[in-house]
Amino acid sequence: MELSRRDILASMAAAGATQVAARPSAASVAQRAADPFGVLVDLTACIGCRKCEWACNQVNHLPAVPVQAFEDASVFASLRRPDASHYTVVNRFPGAGEDDKPVFVKAQCMHCDDPACCSACIVSALEKQPDGAVTYTAWRCMGCRYCMVVCPFQVPAYEYFNATTPQVRKCTFCHERISQEGKLPACVEICPPQCLTFGRRSELLALAHRRIAGGSGRYTDHVYGESEVGGTSWLYLSGIEFSELGFPVLGDAAPPRLTESLQHGVFKDFIPPLALFGALTAIVRLFRPDGEKPPAGEGRQP
Amino acid sequence: MTGHGAAPVRKPLLTPGVLLLLGLVALGMVFAWVRFASGLGAVTHLDDRFPWGIWIAIDVATGVALSAGGFTTAALVHIFHRRRYEALTRSALLTAVLGYTFVAFGIVMDLGRYYNIWHPALPSMWSGHSALFEVAMCVMAYLTVLYIELMPIVVERFAGRVRLPGPLGLLDGVVEGALRFFDRTLGRVMSVFIVLGVVLSTLHQSSLGTLMVLAPSKMNPLWWTPILPLLFLLSAIAVGFAMVVFESLIAARVFGRAPEMELLTPLSRVIPVLLFVYLAFKVGDVMIRGVVTRLGDGSAASLIFLLEIGLGVVIPLLMLLSERVRRRPGLLFAAAAMVVLGVAFNRINVFLTAFTPLYATRRYVPSVGEVAITVAFISGLLLLYRVLVSVLPVLPAEEQPQQQRTGSRHVHAAPPSSIGRWSA
């Protein structure tokens, strides 16, 4: 019982309508973020055609390369990663099954549910949107690149050779297409074998577990992104272990929960800093040695 | 009360050492020009895997740590009233002022959109969830506090004798009025700024450690720990006094003075205590987290970790326990230098050595341009220190030359100032 593209588009339009009707308040953002959109990538279905790379370049105005160029299989010789002018790339890994079929793995921003990059960002240039997308607002950015330091998937890239207006560059989850235009992400729209499925994250998780249950051993029993670093909007199904396909082995805890609790512990309603200030002021006054006048009293000596 | 009996240093400025520093600054400026004309990629070895290099690890993180002498000395003298150390406070303050100023320069050099550096101050940009935001706000506030704390020294030197060159002379009255205003007001509020400076320092010294806590999966577990902020704070407090000893002994050597051993010897008694507290948390941390067994695996990381703790903490701690070491300038200098370099090594290890990004095909090694710019910043800092101690009464007045040159001394006999006592 898979989600058809028509179902998805219908639900998209409905989502778009509700969004126009009610500008999201903080509470509704939180509610909707509780079930953001996502994409389920079924690695057993990917044939490595790289049409997703081409479509991504078109939509995001990345270097325009003719679609035929993406049929060149020689790029699979070395591991590629998303960079400032490629938001998504497909890599080939040796298969492990009896048929030894290679496994193709599409990489892009995972759009974490609780993103370290957004927690890191000093000016909120990176933000988790209610639709699931982690977006970047260039004019806010200072270019400190802390987001790149903390990303557990090593995704954000930088324009190091732009001297004046360098940007942090990464997959946008086609934020405007999915939240305002009622369209699919460009890569999902073009994917011929439908190994990419777009939908609500909760529905995609249910679908992924149904596929594992009904696949009679076709899949490893692991939906990558279901719990990694607190969960991601992009989810993966695979026939072999994810660690053999270049996926980092990550814990379930979202790193921002730890640092933000440290941060909020130190700054709780500004009470600890004020208490320290008060205590030190008290020490200055209480322990002043005998015979030493307060500074204001010294002033007017000739 | 005329402050500390501090006076501008009377030594020829254009020495070979100063010329060398000028040359190094000029060399760095060539690379800085390329960086601003052609982008970070043209000068640095930074890439998508290694977004932070030595400008963050040395110019910023180490710069902040080694400027800690400003707040530890201010706390010792003005909060805990250990007045005998007052003679050391001015050079510690100047070091902190220059240290943080160059931290700001280092950040500007590293930011891709440096012209947006003021964004965190805008309420519409505030991002309370970000540890870096907290660091930025505290550093901005503390830099302001440091310049306010420096003001009494400027007042002491220039109030009543403002003579600006050329057409700027028209402003003499305005500047004079401002100095008089500071003289009247600062004395009453300086204790608030000194306490504020200590609070801001504890906050951002620790938050600087929180930064890398957010990248647990990309950090070597020897250095990654949830108590990194505490370790950063404890090591900053320990290195603060070591830095004061270190620079005081260097200044004595450079200016051909007798080292102030009557102050440095008792001051350095507290350093092993502070080092021990830091060491206890550092060792307890690797034991409790169960990563202590990694230290025996013979890897480069474990060797570096042992070097950092051994040479930077344990050996100077043991040395400074000995009265003999604390009394001998040479041995005291060696111990203080080990503490200073040990903390610098720690910051470099946390930000660079421990950082192991995914999919890296090479290690980060700083480029010639990155090194040249970092060297230029350090040289510029030393140069400004050298110039400012010649202009402002920072270092204790020398007694013998004072008597010999009585005639020329009247310029520097500071008038009674209400804030001399507070000029940290």
Under 8 Å between Cβ of A144 and B132: yes
Under 8 Å between Cβ of A151 and B217: no
Asked whether residue A224 carries a pLDDT value surpassing 60, the answer given is yes
Residue entry with tokens 């934020």: A175
CB contact under 8 A, B359 and A284: no
Per residue in A99-125, pLDDT (tens digit) is: 678 999 999 999 999 999 999 999 999
Integer Cα distance of B70 and B90 in angstroms: 9
CB contact under 8 A, B39 and A160: yes
CB contact under 8 A, A296 and B187: yes
Q: What is the mean pLDDT of chain B?
A: 91
Under 8 Å between Cβ of B32 and B376: yes
* A chain contacts of residue B184, beta-carbon cutoff 8 Å: 299
> Going by C-beta distance under 8 Å and a sequence separation of 6 or more, which residues neighbour residue B268?
B241, B242, B245, B320, B326, B332, B335, B336
pLDDT of residue B398: 77
> Going by C-beta distance under 8 Å and a sequence separation of 6 or more, which residues neighbour residue A293?
none
Confidence of residue B330 (pLDDT cuts 50, 70, 90): very high
- Average the pLDDT over A22-41 and give the result: 62
> How many secondary structure helices (H) and strands (E) does chain B include?
18, 0
Count of CB atoms within 10 A of residue B166's CB?
Answer: 6
How far away is chain A from the Cα of B121, in angstroms, using its nearest Cα? 9
The answer to whether A230 contacts chain B (CB < 8 Å) is no
DSSP state letter for B361: S
Asked whether residue A300 carries a pLDDT value surpassing 60, the answer given is no
Asked whether residue A98 carries a pLDDT value surpassing 80, the answer given is no
CB-closest option in B112, B421, B422 to A143? B112
pLDDT of residue B1: 37
Asked whether residue B422 carries a pLDDT value surpassing 50, the answer given is no
Considering only residues 129 to 148 of chain A, which have any Cβ-Cβ distance to chain B shorter than 8 Å? Answer: 140-146, 148
pLDDT of residue B39: 97
CA-to-CA separations, A151 to A154, A276, B298, in angstroms, rounded: 5, 34, 29
Interface A–B counts its CB contacts (< 8 A) at 208
How far away is chain A from the Cα of B392, in angstroms, using its nearest Cα? 21
* A chain contacts of residue B116, beta-carbon cutoff 8 Å: 123, 140-143
CB contact under 8 A, B119 and A145: no
> DSSP characters for B253-274?
HHTT----HHHHHHHTTHHHHH
CB-closest option in A119, A122, A300 to B120? A122
CB contact under 8 A, B213 and A262: yes
CB contact under 8 A, B214 and A79: no
* B chain contacts of residue A144, beta-carbon cutoff 8 Å: 110-112, 132
CB-closest option in B129, B136, B187 to A295? B187
- Which amino acid appears at position B359 of this protein? Y
Domain boundaries, given as residue ranges, for chain A:
5-253, 257-298
The answer to whether A287 contacts chain B (CB < 8 Å) is yes
Residue B414, Cβ density class (10 Å: 0-12 exposed, 13-18 middle, ≥19 buried):
buried
Asked whether residue B316 carries a pLDDT value surpassing 90, the answer given is yes
CB contact under 8 A, A124 and B125: yes
Count of CB atoms within 10 A of residue A135's CB?
Answer: 18
Count of CB atoms within 10 A of residue B254's CB?
Answer: 15
Under 8 Å between Cβ of B28 and B375: yes
Integer Cα distance of A182 and A176 in angstroms: 9
Which of these ranges, A291-295, B3-7, B165-169, B331-335, has the smallest mean pLDDT? A291-295
- Which amino acid appears at position A218 of this protein? R
Confidence of residue B399 (pLDDT cuts 50, 70, 90): low
Integer Cα distance of B424 and B1 in angstroms: 14
- B172-210 vs A271-286: helix axis angle to the nearest 10? 120
CB-closest option in A84, A149, A255 to B51? A149
Residue entry with tokens 């060398």: B20
Asked whether residue A22 carries a pLDDT value surpassing 90, the answer given is no
Confidence of residue A256 (pLDDT cuts 50, 70, 90): very high
* A chain contacts of residue B119, beta-carbon cutoff 8 Å: 122-123, 140, 142
Considering only residues 169 to 198 of chain B, which have any Cβ-Cβ distance to chain A shorter than 8 Å? Answer: 184, 187-188, 190-192, 194-196, 198
Residue entry with tokens 């949830």: B226
Asked whether residue B148 carries a pLDDT value surpassing 50, the answer given is yes
CB-closest option in A260, A295, A298 to B129? A260
CA-wise closest residue to A223 among A191, A200, A247, A199: A247
Integer Cα distance of B368 and B28 in angstroms: 10
Integer Cα distance of B106 and B52 in angstroms: 12
Which of these ranges, A29-38, A79-88, B329-338, has the smallest mean pLDDT? A29-38
How far away is chain A from the Cα of B391, in angstroms, using its nearest Cα? 25
pLDDT of residue B403: 43
How far away is chain B from the Cα of A255, in angstroms, using its nearest Cα? 6
What's the ipTM?
0.91
Considering only residues 78 to 107 of chain A, which have any Cβ-Cβ distance to chain B shorter than 8 Å? Answer: 79, 81, 83-84
Per residue in B199-211, pLDDT (tens digit) is: 999 999 999 999 9
Segment (H or E) for B372: helix B368-391
CB contact under 8 A, A140 and B207: no
* B chain contacts of residue A120, beta-carbon cutoff 8 Å: 130-132, 214
Integer Cα distance of B292 and A7 in angstroms: 55
Confidence of residue A71 (pLDDT cuts 50, 70, 90): confident
Confidence of residue B223 (pLDDT cuts 50, 70, 90): very high
* A chain contacts of residue B36, beta-carbon cutoff 8 Å: 163
Under 8 Å between Cβ of A116 and A152: yes
Higher pLDDT, A71 or B341: B341
CB contact under 8 A, B217 and A250: yes
| A interface test, pick of B82, B118, B134, B199 with most A CB neighbours within 10 Å | B199
- Which amino acid appears at position B382 of this protein? L
* A chain contacts of residue B52, beta-carbon cutoff 8 Å: 145, 149
- In chain B, which residue's Cα lies nearest the Cα of A251? B217
Q: What is the mean pLDDT of chain A?
A: 86
Considering only residues 64 to 93 of chain B, which have any Cβ-Cβ distance to chain A shorter than 8 Å? Answer: 75, 78-81, 83
CB contact under 8 A, A142 and B213: no
Asked whether residue B337 carries a pLDDT value surpassing 90, the answer given is yes
Note the CATH architecture for domain A5-253: 2-Layer Sandwich (3.30)
Percent pLDDT > 70 in chain B is: 93
Confidence of residue A260 (pLDDT cuts 50, 70, 90): very high
* B chain contacts of residue A243, beta-carbon cutoff 8 Å: none
- Average the pLDDT over A218-223 and give the result: 95
Residue entry with tokens 């028509």: A6
Per residue in B256-277, pLDDT (tens digit) is: 999 999 999 999 999 999 999 9
Asked whether residue A192 carries a pLDDT value surpassing 70, the answer given is yes
Q: Are strands A134-136 and A126-128 parallel, antiparallel or unpaired?
A: antiparallel
Residue entry with tokens 């325009």: A64
Integer Cα distance of B102 and B385 in angstroms: 12
Per residue in B22-52, pLDDT (tens digit) is: 999 999 999 999 999 999 999 999 999 999 9
Specify the 3-state DSSP secondary structure of B103: helix
Torsion of CA A28, A33, A39, A40, to 10 degrees: -120
A291 φ/ψ sector (left φ>0, alpha ψ -120 to 50, else beta): left
Percent pLDDT > 70 in chain A is: 83
Structure-token pair, residue B291: 């990563």
Specify the 3-state DSSP secondary structure of B13: coil
Confidence of residue B378 (pLDDT cuts 50, 70, 90): very high
CB contact under 8 A, A262 and B40: no
The answer to whether A263 contacts chain B (CB < 8 Å) is yes
Give the up-direction half-sphere exposure of residue B349: CA atoms within 13 A in the CB hemisphere.
Answer: 24
* A chain contacts of residue B219, beta-carbon cutoff 8 Å: none
Torsion of CA B339, B341, B343, B345, to 10 degrees: -140
pLDDT of residue A144: 97
pLDDT of residue A298: 40
Q: What is the 3-state secondary structure (H, E, C) of chain A?
A: CCCCHHHHHHHHHHHHHHHHHCCCCHHHHHHHHCCCEEEEEECCCCCCCCHHHHHHHHHCCCCCCCHHHHHCHHHHHCCCCCECCECCEEEEECCCCCCCCCEEEEECCCCECCCHHHHHCCCCCEEECCCCCEEECHHHCCCCCHHHHHCCCCCCEECCCCCCCCCEECCCCCHHHHHCCCCCCHHHHHCCCCCEEEEEHHHHHHHHHHHHHHCCCCCCCCCECCCHHHCECEEEECCCCHHHHCCCCCCCCCHHHHHHHHHHHHHHHHHHHHHHHHHHHHHHHHCCCCCCCCHHHHCCCC
Integer Cα distance of B419 and B188 in angstroms: 8
Asked whether residue B315 carries a pLDDT value surpassing 90, the answer given is yes
Higher pLDDT, B120 or B165: B120
Integer Cα distance of B100 and B323 in angstroms: 33
Give the end-to-end CA distance of chain B in Å, rounded to a whole number. 14
